[in-house]
Amino acid sequence: MADKRDYYEVLGVSKGASDDEIKKAYRKLAKKYHPDVNPGDKEAEEKFKEVGEAYGVLSNPDSRAKYDQYGHAAFDPASGGGAGFGGFDFGGFDMGDIFSTFFGGGGGGGRSSSQSQRGESIGLRIKLTFEEAALGCKKKIEFTRKERCSSCNGSGADSPSDVETCKTCGGSGRVRTVQNTIFGQMQSQTTCSACRGKGKTIKNFCKKCSGSGLKNVSKALDVNIPAGIDDGERLTLRSQGNVSTSGLAGDLVLVVSVSKHEFFERDGENLICEFPISRCTTLIKQPLSSRFCSSTSIMKFRLSSKVTFFASSSCTPSRKRAT
């Protein structure tokens, strides 16, 4: 028992922590280390079990009192205690609630969670000229995304008869274990390793997609760029990302990159322009060229703000500001 960490330390709470603080800490850590979030990560799986064991003891007033008095020895089989963590009653706390909250399915709903899973989002960088960003435009973008294999319709099987109900979990996607302890029967559920939580196994894989259920497809879209968009902003196109085997697609996220302008510089929703003028132009208040003013007025109109000019005289080192 000497190798076991203190249960309060495992959950990151003090010995005087309230029931709500213990439950909150458990929820946070269970989400962090859950096998569905860390597939194939043995270390995360062990931490998930350790967190569950700690919560199973500290969430029960009687077992917590025994632990506070005797430590781990209170549950050591050699000392007449229980058999350790194999899933706890959790004092009326339904593990299905936490699975539903974190992963979109019930405690035994590994299969339903898999069926409702969305595909991964795709990130693309789109380059715009200064004028395109200020005035708005339509851009054609090309990208590659994953879609369901047309041959197996996402099942990954060579034929429908090759899809079988998992014999290990009976199609639930989760495996339940039950142990008898001094506190009664204690249960725990883990993702089925045979089917990886899908509830189905495949006898012969699809030859076209090699069992992945997905294929790469080239796509092209016309995207409307709103006027006034800034460098670094993002445009999210819903359900245009990768498609999962269940048919639900993630998003396509466009990150905007705006090139610099020959005259203008953007400051928030304002435009700034710096240009040299002679002392005579300053004194007689000569107007700017019509071409330059026309360009400025368009920018000003689209951004619904103001344009600021920094006019530096060729005879004077200081800058004169005009708006």
Q: What's the confidence (pLDDT) of residue 158? A: 92
Averaged pLDDT of the chain: 76
Pairing assessment for the beta strands 184-191 and 174-181 based on DSSP bridges: antiparallel
Section 216-238 average pLDDT: 92
Q: Number of C-alpha atoms within 13 angstroms, CB side, residue 35?
A: 19
Q: What's the confidence (pLDDT) of residue 251? A: 93
Please give the structure tokens belonging to residue 228. 């006034």
What are 116-125's pLDDT values in tens digits? 688 999 999 9
Please give the structure tokens belonging to residue 197. 């939580």
In the predicted structure, residue 243 carries a pLDDT above the cut 90: yes
Tell me what percent of the residues of the chain surpass a pLDDT of 70: 70
Pairing assessment for the beta strands 270-277 and 307-313 based on DSSP bridges: parallel
Please give the structure tokens belonging to residue 213. 């259920």
Contact in structure between 207 and 158 (CB atoms under 8 Å)? yes
